[in-house]
Amino acid sequence: MDIIIGSLELGFIYAIVAIGVYITYKILDFPDMSVDGTMPLGAAVTAVMIAKGMNPFIATIVAIIAGCIGGATTGLLHVKLKINNLMAGILVMIGLYSINLRVMGKANTQIFGSSHFLSKDVIPKIVVLLIFAIIVKILLDVFLKTKKGFILRAVGDNEQLVTSLAINKDNYKILGLVISNGLAALAGALLCQYQNYADVGMGAGTVVIGLAAVIVGESIFGRISFMKATTTAALGAIIYRLAVTGVLELGLDPQDLKLVTAVIVIVALSLNTKHLSFKSFKKAKNGGATVVNNNESI
């Protein structure tokens, strides 16, 4: 039972990552690799501030801001310096590795014995993490229903249409990256408090895990009309963590975890091929614009 609870707790943390990855990969069609750097950045900032006795709420907020700055940097490299989107993310990811080392002053920082969101037994960790995941999902859903949220989705569907309306699409690309990386940093801050330490290498493969969660969630729940994409992404993260735990319990060597992730993504992609092809066909048929479904309820 403890194993399942632990998987759910990690699932709720990575659900936040998955929701952020959904913004860049599914809404903006932007292969953002910088989340591999902003997640440990959030963890590093949180660990250092908590270790110095600062309020965990303030530490988490500062971590989110740091992640947002990382996302904005990726966006600026792409839209202002005209660097390829994939390369911009990779450059920021590489740069953040050194920055994370600078922030902590070493490869890892422990916060055992320090007071933070997950250090007390008054409220179970699983409840706290679930609340965070739900709040993130609700806030993003509300934002996507606003004018700015609608334009953000339109930028991913049809840049030409947005430009023809005299709207600066580049600003909205940066906004999407800011939100996505801010969420990645929040997940890093929570993971740091969950594990009681931050490590410079804890972000390796974050974007793959987030993408796996989005794909798995869409493959399983994508055809359920009343489910929002943010819900399917979050559920995908939970299912992914449960699947990984199940495989490890069967005796798989933990060092093969990345291989398992790759296999899960491959299987999910193969199952999702028809759906993706239909979406592309429908987009082409509508002159490059997809129909935004506003009838989702959860």
Domain, as residue range, for 6: 1-202
42 within a domain of the structure (yes/no)? yes
79 within a domain of the structure (yes/no)? yes
Shortest CA distance to 34 belongs to which of 225, 206, 224?
Answer: 206
34 within a domain of the structure (yes/no)? yes
Provide DSSP, 125-154: HHHHHHHHHHHHHHHHHHHHTSHHHHHHHH
pLDDT, tens digit, 9 for 90 and up, residues 167-216: 999 999 999 999 999 999 999 999 999 999 999 999 998 999 999 899 98
Region at 113 (left for phi over 0; alpha for psi -120 to 50; beta for the rest): left
65 within a domain of the structure (yes/no)? yes
Determine how many CB atoms are found less than 10 A away from the CB of residue 295.
Answer: 6
What's phi and psi for 246, nearest 5 deg?
A: -60, -40
Q: Tell me, what DSSP letter sits at residue 287?
A: T
Structure pTM?
A: 0.90
CB under 8 Å, gap of 24 or more: what pairs does 98-102 form? 99/37, 99/41, 100/37, 100/40, 100/41, 100/44, 100/200, 101/200
Q: For the chain, what is the domain count?
A: 1
264 within a domain of the structure (yes/no)? no
Cite the beta strand spans of the chain per DSSP E: 108-110, 197-199
Cα end-to-end span (Å), the chain: 28
pLDDT string in tens for the chain (298-residue length) = 788 999 999 999 999 999 999 999 999 999 999 999 999 999 999 999 999 999 999 999 999 999 999 999 999 999 999 999 999 999 999 999 999 999 999 999 999 988 898 987 778 999 999 999 999 999 999 999 999 999 999 998 888 889 898 999 999 999 999 999 999 999 999 999 999 999 999 999 899 999 989 998 988 898 888 899 999 999 999 999 998 888 888 888 888 888 888 887 787 777 766 544 444 444 544 555 444 544 445 7
18 within a domain of the structure (yes/no)? yes
Region at 93 (left for phi over 0; alpha for psi -120 to 50; beta for the rest): alpha
Which distant-in-sequence residues (6+ apart) come within 8 Å of 204 by Cβ?
36
297 within a domain of the structure (yes/no)? no
Report whether 188 contacts 203 (CB < 8 A).
yes
Shortest CA distance to 173 belongs to which of 80, 292, 279?
Answer: 80
256 within a domain of the structure (yes/no)? no
Determine how many CB atoms are found less than 10 A away from the CB of residue 13.
Answer: 25
CB hemisphere CA count around 232 (13 angstroms): 23
pLDDT, tens digit, 9 for 90 and up, residues 134-180: 999 999 999 999 999 999 999 988 888 898 989 999 999 999 999 99
Please tell me the total number of residues recorded for the chain in this structure: 298
| Amino acid at site 36 | D
